[in-house]
Each structure stands twice: as C-alpha cells, then as structure tokens.
Amino acid sequence: MASVSMEYGLILAGILFTLGLVGVLVRRNLLFMLLSIEIMLNAAGLAFVVAGARWAQPDGQVIFLFILTMAAAEVSVGLALILQIYRHMKTLDADAADEMRG
Amino acid sequence: MTLIFYIAASVAVIATVLVITQTNAVHALLYLIVSLLSVALVFYTLGAPFIAILEVIVYAGAIMVLFLFAIMILNLGPQASEQERQWLQPGIWRGPAILAAILAAELIYLFVASGGQLPATTAVEPQEVGKALFGPYLLGVELASLLLLAGLVGAYHLARRPEPREQGGKA
C-alpha cells in the first residue's frame, strides 16, 4: 500500500482550518458562522488523526472522538441560542446581537 | 491509496470553499456534507476506518441533520438568500482572505519544512482505539458523557418557548 506522507495530511488540515476561519470572519449570518466553526473543528480533528497514524498510536483517534462529542454538544447549544436570537430579533445578523439587552 | 487521498482532499477543499461562499443555507449544508464525506475517505486512506465510519454517522449524519432541523424551524425563504447576497459584497472578502492566505502559507511552509516525507498510513484498528478509550482515557469518556448531558439540558432550556404568562409579565 503506497503511503500518504504526514505533511500532506497536515497541509489538508491547515487549508480546511483557514477556510473555516475565513468563513467565520466574512459571514454575518449566525448559522453560517456556526457551520464554519464546524469546519474548523473537523480540521483540528483531522490533524489529530494524521498525527495518530504517523506514530501508529490510537491516541489521535481517541482525541478525535472527544472533539466529535464536544462538537455535538456545542452545535446543540449553539443552534438553541440561534433560535432564541431569531425569536427575539427576527434576524440572523450577528451585528444585531451586540446589545446586552434581553 | 495515494491517488484516492489526493482526489478526496481536493474534493474536500473545493466543497469547503463552496460552503463559505453559498448564500442559500441548505445548499451550503449539502456542500458541507460532501466535504465531510470526503474527509471520511481521507481518514480511511490514512488507516483510521473506525473514525471514517464515525465521521459519516455522527458528523455527516447526526450533526448535519441538527442543522437541517434548525434551518427548517427558522423557515428561511428566498428573501434570506437575497439578504445574504447583500451582506456578501466582494469587498468584504479582501481583508480576511489575505490574512487567511498568509496564515495558510505559513502553515504549509512549516509542515513542508519540518520533515522529510514521513509516511502516515499505519493502520490503527478499532480494537486498539477501544482499548485506549476504556483504559487510560476512561475519565475522558465519563467527562464526555457529562458534557453531552449538559448539552442536552442546555439546548432544551434555551430553545424552550417562553410561557405566555411570563411573556405578559415582561411586557
């Protein structure tokens, strides 16, 4: 089996992470910002799995499982917050939620 | 195997670019699912079949369905897509894109300069992952279950509609 070198896996993780970062910086819609955060979390997990495959240890995959759990909990709470913001402000604009009034 | 890795990596990058440039939320979500599936293929070529399956089931399955439910509840119509198009003027891409390109170039330089073509396709079987998960990482598993419970309670509390009586009192 021809092997993929570790550098290319890490480069893929880096590119996906920066794409997610651009998404968070550019978009004003809260839903798209949450999607971009998912991209970034997934890229971080990819870097862990690449490192785990390099040293033939299961630890990288275990950490990916924890990132997966964290992403699931974060998305459920984040989407609930977005629903509340939409109910209050009638918009998904991130700039509309900059006032600390309920 | 190397060719599959390169094809899947290209698909992942292109699909992710399309995610952050789409104006329709459902289209962006579908592109993100394509991206996650190709990352799952990357995991498979790297010798992590268990993680590849979990990526498909949990990420592309459960978490994306959660997003889909949220989009359906928000009931975003064509006017939301139009507003997105107004927010996404070409000018606002410039600053973040330049900064992120510099960051990506630095990362790529670091990864390429750090070592000489180390192979990264040692297969780690699910048995080993399970042994590690319920051996040295047992406390982490317990904490993860606690985190999921907190997420469940938090999401239920936050997404609850306010009681009519409470709303009247506030107004």
Interface predicted TM-score (ipTM): 0.90
Nearest CB among B47, B51, B73 relative to A64 is that of B51
Q: Residue B171 — pLDDT band, cuts 50, 70, 90?
A: very low
Nearest CB among B48, B67, B104 relative to A18 is that of B104
Mean pLDDT, range B63-85, rounded to an integer? 84
Torsion angle in degrees (nearest 10) through CA of B56, B62, B64, B70: 180
The answer to whether the Cβ–Cβ distance between A7 and B118 falls below 8 Å is yes
Mean pLDDT, range B39-46, rounded to an integer? 92
Q: pLDDT at position B115, please?
A: 65
Mean pLDDT, range B138-157, rounded to an integer? 94
Mean pLDDT, range B2-10, rounded to an integer? 91
C-alpha to C-alpha distance for A61 and A44, rounded to whole angstroms: 12
Q: Residue B88 — pLDDT band, cuts 50, 70, 90?
A: confident
Nearest CB among B39, B48, B121 relative to A42 is that of B39
Chain B interface, mutation test: which of A24, A68, A86, most B Cβ atoms within 10 Å?
A68
Angle at B114 between CA B109 and CA B119, to 5 degrees: 110
Q: pLDDT at position B90, please?
A: 80
The SS3 assignment for A93 reads strand
- State which residue of chain B sits closest to A69, comparing Cα positions: B144
- Residue B68 token pair: 């889909």
Q: pLDDT at position A1, please?
A: 47
- Residue A52 token pair: 């785990």
- Residue B75 token pair: 């009931």
Interface list for B 67-86 with A (CB within 8 A): 67, 70-71, 73-74, 76, 80, 84
Tokens 């040692």 sit on residue: B122
pLDDT at B89 over 50: yes
Mean pLDDT, range B79-96, rounded to an integer? 82
Measured between CB atoms, does B138 come within 8 Å of chain A? no
- At position B141, the amino acid (one-letter code) is V
CA nearest neighbour of A26 among B103, B88, B83, B27? B88
Torsion angle in degrees (nearest 10) through CA of B143, B144, B146, B149: 170
Measured between CB atoms, does A96 come within 8 Å of chain B? no
Q: Which residue has the higher pLDDT, B116 or B160?
A: B160
C-alpha to C-alpha distance for A72 and B147, rounded to whole angstroms: 10
pTM of the shown model? 0.88
The SS3 assignment for A90 reads coil
C-alpha to C-alpha distance for B90 and B38, rounded to whole angstroms: 29
C-alpha to C-alpha distance for B84 and A46, rounded to whole angstroms: 30
Chain A interface, mutation test: which of B19, B33, B54, B73, most A Cβ atoms within 10 Å?
B19
Q: How far is B150 from chain A (nearest CA, A)?
A: 8
CA nearest neighbour of B55 among B72, B74, B32, B22? B32
Q: pLDDT at position B166, please?
A: 54
Q: Which residue has the higher pLDDT, B121 or A90?
A: A90
pLDDT at B22 over 90: no
pLDDT tens string, chain A, 102 residues long: the values are 457 778 888 899 999 999 999 999 998 888 999 999 999 999 999 999 998 888 888 899 999 999 999 999 999 999 999 988 888 887 788 887 777 665
- State which residue of chain A sits closest to B139, comparing Cα positions: A66
**Contact (CB, 8 A) for B18 and A24:** no
Q: pLDDT at position B165, please?
A: 61
pLDDT at B94 over 80: yes
Chain B interface, mutation test: which of A17, A22, A25, most B Cβ atoms within 10 Å?
A22
